[in-house]
Amino acid sequence: MRKKKEIVLTILAIIIALIFMVPLFWMIMTSFKNDFEAIAGGLNWIPKEFTFENYIYTLQQTTEVPVFRWLFNSLFVGIAGTLIIVTVDAMAAYGIARLDVPFKKFLFPMFISTLMIPFVITFLPLYMQFSNMNLLNTYGALIFPYTANAFGVFLLYQFFKSFPKELEEAAYLDGANKWKIFIKVVLPSSKSIIWTLAIFSFMQIYNDFLWPLVATRSPEMRTLTTGIAVMQQGSFVSSYGKLMALTTLATIPILIVFLIGQKQLIKGITQTGIK
Amino acid sequence: MAKSLSKERQKQQRISKFTSFLFVLPYLTLFSLFLLFPLIYGIYISFHDYNLLAVTHNFIGLENYVDIFTPDTSLNTQFFRGLKNTLQFVVYSVPLLVIVGLSLALLLNNLPKRLTGFFRTLYFIPYAISVSVVSVIFLWILDTNSGLINKYIMEWGGTAIPWLTRQPYAWIAIVIATLWWTIGFNMIIFINALNEVPDDLYEAASIDGASAWDKFRHITIPTIKPITLFVTITSTIASFNIYGQPHLMTRGGPGNSTEVLLMGIVRRAFEQRELGQASAMAILMSLLMITVSVVQFRLANGKKRGES
């Protein structure tokens, strides 16, 4: 009876998994078809003529599709943004949770209340701000707006609040100052939660769409997500083979990050979900 | 002597507070520059006649807001058309995002333990992909002439469905793409919530001869209620923010029927170049979103109090 139920559910789970995988499988298979086969070729799950021409074209036409530049931009912006977020959020969260920061009774609620504020309210003034300073189309414009988000401060604050005081006290008695304790005692014990924040931040920045779309104009400052959008409405509009080669290339790095960091990501989602 | 000691202590305290403040200073700076300042600046812009091409931007008070609520102005049309379309998407997507998310979590929880992790990863993978990749994939799968779905429909003797160029198909296409992309997030939250339902409750119910359905209705549902509400709120906010899918899949069509509010704001700002009007639209949209989430939150807490 129990066995039978398990078998039925497993079959159901496999069917749903297939539905989830079809779009990705179709993307990868289309990327190996020539344009004619992609558009005309009937129900060909596996390409009749397996070709690498879409990848070769996408990777070689660097003036039309600067894939490597876009990949570099996305990775650079994602990594730099993540490093800044992790550093400043950890410091701020620790300060507020554990140190005698002046006005913290006022600062912390102010940070947290902005979690309710949607991005739509700040993206136009941010655009004007960077435009006034002539900084649109720069890495600064692509990085800094993400670093103001209070999510990380909130996440780490909860962790530091419940961090055992004894470790810090022992270090204080040994004569260490706040910075030393923060770097030598607190941070090493917070690796897991910091990884969680890092993966969240990286995925958000790497995959973001609207902000990089309005903050960049020139092709060489595009990120992968906005570059794909430009190609889809531009010269790749009728060549799905090439478009799929481009999206496959764009998806590989983030998929690797996702599969490696999945556990941390799930942990972060459930931790924020409970509160 | 005592006085100088307390002065010494005061000085130490000041130094200590100062060094502590240095911990918060970097974030506070970024927060002020890229969140607090734009917030105020946005309100300022919304009070001005702010055309991007004009040299001067006159203060016009609440005129942009008044225009939004004045019937038959182009601003009024764009705002309420966008609002109507966004609300449609919220109504179509949120119940599915919650129910399908919970269903997948229930399915995974009842699988043999060693399979759970594998399927969880598979269902969760699309969440890692960017909206432009998701949109391009679904554009291709739902293409009228050579898309995968229509190829099958025609193979089986049906007529091709114009997924992206006719309603209600355009909404169906956008909702399906959104579900595929984001459902894993809600599923993960529900899996965690289901794991926290105490086992002894189920055991006690089994002894009393309760059926699986009884247990689900009287134990699972009440226990996960707060999480269900959390998922509903976050899904509502996410659905309000929809932009990429209609921008890339339907470009707001057919006939502006999927021109969502955020898309209207972007067009107002960068096509009509009326930044003041666009800012007023953005502020109203934000106020609406904040109100909706506060109401949902209150509703949740009110109910909780009523139960206890």
Which of B27, B35, B244 has its CB closest to that of A88?
A: B27
B270: chain A residues, CB-CB within 8 Å: 214
Looking at per-residue confidence, does B213 or B183 come out higher?
B183
Interval B207-221: pLDDT, tens: 888 888 888 888 898
What's the confidence (pLDDT) of residue A85? 98
Mean pLDDT, residues A42-51: 83
- Binned at pLDDT 50, 70 and 90, residue B305 comes out as very low
Interface of A with B in 14-33 (CB under 8 A): 16-17, 20-24, 26-27, 30
- Cα separation of A45 and B150, whole Å? 14
Mean pLDDT, residues A5-10: 91
Q: Contact B186/B180 with Cβ under 8 angstroms? A: no
Residue A1 has pLDDT above 70, yes or no: no
How much of chain B, in percent, has pLDDT values that exceed 90? 66
Residue A262 has pLDDT above 70, yes or no: yes
- Cα separation of B190 and B100, whole Å? 10
Question: Which helix (H) or strand (E) element contains residue B58?
Answer: strand B58-59
CA distances from B129 to A9, A187, A202, B180, B239 (A): 27, 30, 12, 11, 17
- Cα separation of B292 and B27, whole Å? 29
Choose from A54, A124, A144, A207 for mutation: most chain B CBs within 10 A. Answer: A124
How much of chain A, in percent, has pLDDT values that exceed 70? 97
* DSSP character at residue B48: E
- Whether the complex's predicted ipTM surpasses the cut of 0.85: yes
Q: Contact B263/B191 with Cβ under 8 angstroms? A: no
Residue A6 has pLDDT above 90, yes or no: no
Q: Contact B273/B54 with Cβ under 8 angstroms? A: no
How many CA atoms lie less than 13 Å away from A130 in the CB half-sphere?
A: 23
The mean pLDDT value of chain B amounts to 91
What's the confidence (pLDDT) of residue A240? 86
CA distances from B234 to B97, B105, B113 (A): 10, 17, 29
Residue A7 has pLDDT above 50, yes or no: yes
**Amino acid sitting at position A95:** G
Residue B78 has pLDDT above 70, yes or no: yes
- Cα separation of A240 and A41, whole Å? 13
What's the confidence (pLDDT) of residue B307? 43
Domain ranges of chain A: 60-274
Domain A60-274 class, CATH top level: mainly alpha
CB contact under 8 A, A244 and B136: yes
Instruction: Please tell me which residue of chain A has the smallest CA distance to B29.
Output: A148
B49 strand-pairing partners: B58
Mean pLDDT, residues B71-82: 94
Q: Tell me whether residue A142 is exposed, middle or buried, using C-beta atoms within 10 angstroms of its C-beta: 0 to 12, 13 to 18, 19 or more.
A: buried
- Cα separation of A42 and B59, whole Å? 61
What's the confidence (pLDDT) of residue B306? 43
Interval A102-136: pLDDT, tens: 998 999 999 999 988 899 999 999 999 999 999 99
What's the confidence (pLDDT) of residue A107? 94
**Least confidently predicted of A138-142, B73-77, B217-221:** B217-221
B58 strand-pairing partners: B49
* DSSP character at residue B18: H
Asked whether the CA dihedral B56, B60, B61, B62 is positive or negative, the reply is: negative
**Least confidently predicted of A265-274, B181-190, B291-300:** A265-274
Q: Contact A88/A153 with Cβ under 8 angstroms? A: no
Instruction: Please tell me which residue of chain A has the smallest CA distance to B265.
Output: A120
Asked whether the CA dihedral A163, A167, A173, A175 is positive or negative, the reply is: negative
**Least confidently predicted of A204-218, B144-158, B264-278:** B144-158
What's the confidence (pLDDT) of residue B302? 64
- Binned at pLDDT 50, 70 and 90, residue A46 comes out as confident
What's the confidence (pLDDT) of residue A275? 41
The mean pLDDT value of chain A amounts to 90
Domains of chain B in start order, with CATH, are 72-307 (1.10.3720.10)
Q: Contact B141/A240 with Cβ under 8 angstroms? A: no
Choose from B13, B133, B152 for mutation: most chain A CBs within 10 A. Answer: B133
B39: chain A residues, CB-CB within 8 Å: 117, 121-122, 125
**Least confidently predicted of A29-43, A69-83, B18-32:** A29-43
What's the confidence (pLDDT) of residue B303? 55
In order, the DSSP letters of A44-77 are -SS-SS---HHHHHHHH-TTT--HHHHHHHHHHH
Q: Which residues contact A241 (CB under 8 A, 6 or more apart)?
A: A30, A31, A32, A33, A34, A35, A38, A53, A54
Instruction: Please tell me which residue of chain B has the smallest CA distance to A260.
Output: B121
pTM of the model: 0.91
Interface of B with A in 60-99 (CB under 8 A): none
For residue B278, the distance in angstroms to the closest alpha carbon of chain A comes to 8
B133: chain A residues, CB-CB within 8 Å: 27, 225, 228, 247, 250-251
